[in-house]
Amino acid sequence: MQQVINGLFLGSIYALFALGYTLVFGVLDILNLAHAAVFMLASFAALVLVARLHLPILLALPLAMLFAGLLGMVLERVAFRPLRARGDSNVAGLISSLAVATVFEAVALEVWGPNVERFPFGTLPAEDPAHQLHLLGAVISRLQLTIMGVAVVLVLLLTYLVRRTRLGREVRAVAESPRAARVLGVDVDRVIAASFFISSALGGAAGVLYGLAFNSISPDMGRSVELKGLAVIIVGGMGSMPGAVIAGFALGLTEVLVVAHLGGSYRDAVSFAGLFLILVLRPRGLLGAASLREA
């Protein structure tokens, strides 16, 4: 049971990260390979806010998310918008987001160096055994509870945004068909910029939470999560938000259980082999919503 809790905890972060990925894919049919770099930079931003400016973590998180969102908008303006007119924009977009990701990573390396940084002691209140939650024999630490809580809140907020607000409707319209949306009077450029903002803000939140969860922030922290995020959105169905969430939790659970029963080192290999099989057998994923637009 403890494993399940741990798995759900890890999964909530993966789900948050994957949501951002899948949102952009759903809207633009493009994989934003700079998502993981934004994830990483947001974590550093939170670190700076907490360590240098002594802000409480609960304030640093939304500020870091804002920073990430803005980065996402810059990314969209620089790397994706100029390519929209081109026919090969999918592969070209992939590569240009890769280019920006490289630049982001370079900046992080230059400013902070390659070593692992940690949040200063006292960022989170110390664990108090008397105040921990006990559920069916498992212990949920306050840290885990907080992180899962934040993740769930963000997912709910996003769901509300997409289902109930005008922006959400516009996003869904553009995802369906940009041309039709434009005819209906939707400002497609604005919607895409907004989607990137939201997507990157979510990715940034995932970054901060990940940094808190493992108390480890470094310029290459995005690498492993990047590939896992891809695995998650594929399994969940690219473009499908519920799919991303479910698959995110599933991955978290799988990882924890594999580590527990097979030993740590093969964990990722199992994930990737599984990913390969799913791609080959059922490329639509479990809840495959989007089909690739006709080439």
Positions touching other proteins (CB under 8 A) are: 31, 78-79, 82-83, 86, 88, 90-92, 94-96, 98-103, 105-107, 109-110, 114, 223, 227, 230-231, 234, 265-266, 268-269, 272-273, 275-276, 279-280, 283, 292, 295
Q: At what angle do helices 221-236 and 241-262 cross, to 10 degrees?
A: 120
Q: How far is the CB of 5 from other proteins (least distance, A)?
A: 26
Q: At what angle do helices 221-236 and 188-214 cross, to 10 degrees?
A: 120
Q: How far is the CB of 138 from other proteins (least distance, A)?
A: 29
Q: How far is the CB of 147 from other proteins (least distance, A)?
A: 27
Radius of gyration of the chain (CA): 19
Q: How far is the CB of 31 from other proteins (least distance, A)?
A: 5
Q: Closest by alpha carbon to 17, among 59, 52, 68?
A: 68
| Nearest to other proteins of 5, 275 (CB atom) | 275
Q: How far is the CB of 267 from other proteins (least distance, A)?
A: 9
| Nearest to other proteins of 169, 267 (CB atom) | 267
Buried b vs exposed e over 40-77: b needs ≥16 C-beta within 10 Å? bbbbbbbbbbbeeeebebeebbebbbebbbbbbbebbe
| Nearest to other proteins of 142, 267 (CB atom) | 267
| Nearest to other proteins of 231, 253 (CB atom) | 231
| Nearest to other proteins of 71, 79 (CB atom) | 79
Biggest CA pair distance of the chain: 61
